[in-house]
Structure 1
């Protein structure tokens, strides 16, 4: 780029900006008006939202960004992103022709479903924006520990933000967390087109945006007026024109954009005709050129955009407020209803003619442009962002020990066991310990991460001693903050936790360094951050989620802190396999499996639902087969006799009640079995997969039974199965479909309340008496 004269570079950038606008609009038009529509549904695609960002995205991708930079594109600007990647050679015409169709370019940029170089999936507004902030924290974490190859330059995390996205609360939660962690190398570019889905953005609200960013230490760069307007302001009475535009309400400005030159002339004549300089400006412009002048906002002016971006050369987080016009260059620019509007056939014909595109040239990379194709291609090839081709990095797999050291307490809760297992890993200081990073939303101690943090420390850019320690105040927590620390302490915001985990779990592909993230929180508050959890899994991020305590077993805390439907969340969430171990030895097996599963090509994230209830631990040494069964989802604690008519199936903290009930019914129902499940999620998934395989062509598939089919095979076809868990009974009631056996499911279907465990188990039908009664009713 440096070899080009500034004038030549600007000319080529404007040419490519023009092509990006055309390709994005044509891609959407083709999907809605040319491709056959079999179901009659509007395909959509947001032509107006694309148009407002064509300048900014062209400047970033073709001139400003470097290979180490990472970018989250505003969801509704997805076609612009795909158009740019098409010009780079990372997207195909076939996929653009199938935009929003099966196998085509995705509605919103997707790391896992698009072929082009997507850094961050976007779609659920606000989450991709916050993702860049937490990725910046992860980049610093990796850099300060010299993880990866150590040669990678520090990149900028960039987000293209729709102004209406700033209504999303998670963005402001992230801003506060970023301030706490001294976030750096972060750019947010706000597409201030003053329009949302249903109307025009409120003037008063956005007037405070710059102040909010400055309050948390950001630099704010406002791109308001383009070069044409700036020049007009220097003319006689030009200051009055500036004042008029500054005072113009968003709704009026948008309406005048849609009305065009005649509308501008009428408004300016009405309000500013007393100024000779303004009358002269109006006389110098016909309607077309007056419209071009009055819509010359900086966010749609290539020179202004490039100057603003190139003017920032440090690592201070920066918010660019780019004034743009929604639908700029399109027939419905400025109209308040243009968000999901589509150009008509006639409008597209006029737009196509104006772009200089001949029939049959719609997908040609340089059709309609005045510069030589060779010059344009050379410019694209030299773009710094594209210099290395695809930029997704790799990192070696971290070796996991054959066994994790587990505590030998005779009585323990799974939450206590988790803390001790992690502490043992920390004390060994091996490769596994060095790649683990933990994070928690202000519940570090109460989720048993304290010992880990004492050994591995808090992460921060700068070193800060624990004041209590300095003043010799006795405390069990040695909270020393250093760049070497391996725990990222967050405030109480579950959205932030899950987006932080999402960023950590993609570190190997974003920054070339493998992390094994563990996030802890209270199980009932998974629901608070569920959108962000889904977002993390959608990106195929890899992490271990430890949710504890859980269920009404958290007895004194009452219904607000007792989780009911989280087992269903674990089962229903793609990209996440859920487990609920009853005993600590099971937990040690599952944690080891989780560290491996997080790194497998076809793996994913893992959710461990733990408990604070202290249980007597079984005296046993698990065989390899038993460990395999625990990972697969369940094992016979007390195997049934062949053809047994009764079985109890239990999971998690209520397992002792199931054991007691089994001992009681064994006297009346000889041969009854007790099945302990660790993962109905895993069992259900494998069962469905086996069912699907059996439906394929004979002789080409594995017809072996799934784990749950093998587990239930010893029971008679008429066996009665009583299931019990501290959660919604639906998570286990599907077991009756496996072999057509009758199931009586016990669990929690109502909000909990305060009490002790015996009272609550009795009240909600989880105690041994309820299990025995259910067996009797099933007979």
Structure 2
């Protein structure tokens, strides 16, 4: 257990002995309930499929004391916590004692409709602040939530005296996740504050004991990025032992002991500790006498009395923090603490067997048949404990989830005329919003990972400024150096500039998109990035959507259409990601009037209870804009598709396209109309909405005996049953290929399913067979095959 000597700390507040006894009693009950919940799911609840349910008893036990100290004695209602995924049972047990979780939910832990395996904002009924699951993301999320809180405070939307601490309870193995260090760097840039990361340093990962080498570096890493690091290593029993003769030698042995050996001895128990200590340091002055003063059981208690299990020490340490500097607490713990398999390297997914559980039940004094009662066997203390819980600050009747008012877009978004790309049109629409004074525009916050200008957000930033806690002068402007960009930073700026790390982008969007619920003040986040690099942050994007955060993701440029950039920047399968990702609606407009209508709809949809986030896949290709006959087409557009050229009744052929290939699809139609006069051309600006609607109609079959027609079904109903369909997109052909299954039409899907290369648009469209000639060839194939 290598570690430099602990730093001297400020005088810590004394913990009232009566309060300490109460929280210790609650800790015992939390340990029992979390272990019992997992045991019940695996050994008592009926199992129809025979699968192991799991639940991580060991990982829960290592964090239980830390969580009890925080929830019962430190946290305030405005604090927000991301709980280590594998400590979910501890969280649910604490919420159960608070009266915010039900017995039914605990009995159905990891079953349909029950308490979730990992804390979930959207699926758990208790008060989850941040979902966790994919390790590292919940940790970094707290940093961005703190930045969002500062943004709201600096804009005068939230009172500074209501600032809460954004706290992550993390496993030490999460420190292997790279996104944590990306977040540390970004936090340093933005002068992060009011953020705590509490590390459950049990030194065991899923597969093995963690490396000794890294620990001494963690303090350096955190301090380099502006954090205060506090090591909570020795419990009070150990500290007292160190003051006795032989104690210094014992402490030095602990500091030098490898993690693997310490874990193995923890599992083996007091006699093993004694043998090893006597072999290694028994000859040193005072050591034998010191060890003789402990029975084997007492020696085991002493050697496992690490700081992360000492509730008094934890309360003192957490309560001593009186600054808003970010703090990292490295809490030494034992994985599986207090359970039969504590310290064993294989205990991560281990479960107590029935006899071990019965022994724990007897030890905890829980009568058989009353396992779910909060204070069974503690009747003499029950009234006091219930009264204490009612007065815990974190359990006060405060609103921790807010309903922020919906913001309306007062004026329609005007499409950009002339030959334009959707990427440029997006920038012009945002620039116009920035010049306006609508309440919605005032709550927009944009962000981008170092591609603000190249994704056409520069005009918006010029209008609204960059968010910075410190005033940041545009030196180029002050020095009269000509530049179209005005990079002025101030506390009311509405653009948060990020480094080139896509994980940070999606975590920032997640925090911004939850601002209404977390802080009571809604933001309308708009984030931009290059479309192919959605893949680099895909885990974080999925995490943001899982939390039901609301934002508009604008990805541009996209596809082969980017031409000279080559395969590294030409996205292929992002449309499929957009369709497959839950809580995200994907659009790929070809024209600027489509884009304007989609953005106006999207800003509203993002705020609706049954809404979601929006993904716009835009292009750099400038297209001539169509002349429209009225705006009736917009209603169909916002259902996913509309007939750009309506086919005749019983038509034998239709071309269906998405996005930048609109000119090729139109050109092919014009040639086809000479031979197939009734052919139609369908624009699909949202394959996602279209597919979701059709999928719902399929799922509804047999549900109530009524067949509900989908939007795409209605659009295709005028075609001949023998008609052929050609679909085309600058992306994965599977994006549209499913349309043939709606009515059973023969379908030829065109698209891109291999890495692109550099070239011009005509050459690449011809090479990858999505140009006009390819569309005509496909039309001939499906038409002649009738």
Please, what TM-score do these two structures have when normalized by structure 1?
Answer: 0.98
CA distance in 2, matches of 1:369, 1:406: 69
Q: Is the 8 A contact 2:556 2:619 kept in 1?
A: yes
Q: Deviations over 1:62-84 (max 9, x none)?
A: 01000000000000000000000
CA distance in 2, matches of 1:281, 1:322: 26
**What residue number does 2:704 align with?**
697
Matched position secondary structure for 1:406: coil
CA distance in 2, matches of 1:459, 1:547: 22
Aligned to 1:716, which of 702, 716, 720? 720
Q: Is the 8 A contact 2:153 2:160 kept in 1?
A: no
**What residue number does 1:473 align with?**
481
Q: Is the 8 A contact 2:421 2:623 kept in 1?
A: yes
Q: After alignment, is 370-379 or 241-250 more displaced?
A: 370-379
CA distance in 2, matches of 1:310, 1:704: 59
**What residue number does 1:642 align with?**
649
Deviation for aligned residue 1:360: 1.5
Q: Is the 8 A contact 2:409 2:438 kept in 1?
A: no
**What residue number does 2:768 align with?**
764
CA distance in 2, matches of 1:402, 1:693: 38
CA distance in 1, matches of 2:148, 2:79: 14
**What residue number does 2:24 align with?**
14
CA distance in 2, matches of 1:151, 1:481: 20
Q: Is the 8 A contact 1:405 1:425 kept in 2?
A: no
Note closer, same or farther for the CA distance 1:561–1:5 as it changes in structure 2 (3 Å cut).
closer
Aligned to 2:308, which of 299, 320, 326? 299
CA distance in 2, matches of 1:660, 1:218: 60
**What residue number does 2:358 align with?**
349
1:166 aligns with 2:175: yes
Aligned to 1:443, which of 443, 451, 454? 451
Within 5 A, what are the aligned runs for 1:57-136? Answer: 57-136=67-146
Aligned to 2:686, which of 679, 687, 697? 679
Q: After alignment, is 411-420 or 381-390 more displaced?
A: 381-390
Deviation for aligned residue 1:6: 0.5
Deviation for aligned residue 1:4: 12
Matched position secondary structure for 2:116: coil
CA distance in 1, matches of 2:748, 2:775: 9
CA distance in 2, matches of 1:241, 1:206: 20
Deviation for aligned residue 1:237: 2.3
CA distance in 2, matches of 1:650, 1:224: 62
Deviation for aligned residue 1:692: 2.6
Q: Deviations over 1:500-558 (max 9, x none)?
A: 10111000000001011001000011011110010000011100000000000000000
CA distance in 1, matches of 2:21, 2:200: 23
1:743 aligns with 2:753: no
Q: Is the 8 A contact 2:15 2:315 kept in 1?
A: no
Q: Is the 8 A contact 2:648 2:718 kept in 1?
A: yes
Note closer, same or farther for the CA distance 1:378–1:342 as it changes in structure 2 (3 Å cut).
same
CA distance in 2, matches of 1:614, 1:551: 14
CA distance in 2, matches of 1:622, 1:315: 57
Q: Is the 8 A contact 1:15 1:371 kept in 2?
A: no
Note closer, same or farther for the CA distance 1:751–1:229 as it changes in structure 2 (3 Å cut).
same
CA distance in 2, matches of 1:485, 1:595: 20
Deviation for aligned residue 1:271: 1.2
Note closer, same or farther for the CA distance 1:431–1:573 as it changes in structure 2 (3 Å cut).
same
Q: Deviations over 1:293-339 (max 9, x none)?
A: 11110100001111110111110000000000101100110000000
Cα root mean square deviation, aligned? 1.3
1:660 aligns with 2:664: no
CA distance in 1, matches of 2:526, 2:211: 41
Q: Is the 8 A contact 1:12 1:371 kept in 2?
A: no
Matched position secondary structure for 1:411: coil
**What residue number does 1:217 align with?**
226
Matched position secondary structure for 2:167: strand
Matched position secondary structure for 1:517: strand
Q: Is the 8 A contact 1:98 1:104 kept in 2?
A: yes
CA distance in 2, matches of 1:188, 1:531: 21
Flag structure 1 segments of 5+ consecutive residues without an equivalent.
none
1:600 aligns with 2:635: no
Deviation for aligned residue 1:468: 1.1
**What residue number does 1:236 align with?**
245
Aligned to 1:27, which of 37, 59, 74? 37
Q: Deviations over 1:663-688 (max 9, x none)?
A: 11100111111111111110111112
Q: Deviations over 1:403-433 (max 9, x none)?
A: 212322x100000000001111111121111
**What residue number does 1:583 align with?**
591
**What residue number does 2:779 align with?**
775
Matched position secondary structure for 2:50: coil
Flag structure 2 segments of 5+ consecutive residues without an equivalent.
1-12
Q: Is the 8 A contact 2:14 2:316 kept in 1?
A: no
Deviation for aligned residue 1:628: 1.2
Q: Is the 8 A contact 2:410 2:438 kept in 1?
A: no
Within 5 A, what are the aligned runs for 1:508-527? Answer: 508-527=516-535
Q: Deviations over 1:123-161 (max 9, x none)?
A: 00000001101100111111111226x487000000001
Within 5 A, what are the aligned runs for 1:374-385? Answer: 374-385=383-394
CA distance in 1, matches of 2:15, 2:292: 35
CA distance in 2, matches of 1:712, 1:242: 78
Deviation for aligned residue 1:619: 2.5
Matched position secondary structure for 1:191: strand
Matched position secondary structure for 2:638: helix
Deviation for aligned residue 1:621: 6.1
Matched position secondary structure for 1:646: strand
Q: Is the 8 A contact 2:420 2:624 kept in 1?
A: yes
Note closer, same or farther for the CA distance 1:369–1:210 as it changes in structure 2 (3 Å cut).
farther
Note closer, same or farther for the CA distance 1:390–1:334 as it changes in structure 2 (3 Å cut).
farther
CA distance in 1, matches of 2:185, 2:708: 53
Deviation for aligned residue 1:578: 0.3
1:529 aligns with 2:537: yes
**Matched length:** 771
CA distance in 1, matches of 2:710, 2:555: 28
Q: Is the 8 A contact 1:406 1:420 kept in 2?
A: no
1:182 aligns with 2:191: yes
CA distance in 2, matches of 1:704, 1:151: 52
**What residue number does 1:626 align with?**
633
Aligned to 2:336, which of 316, 327, 335? 327
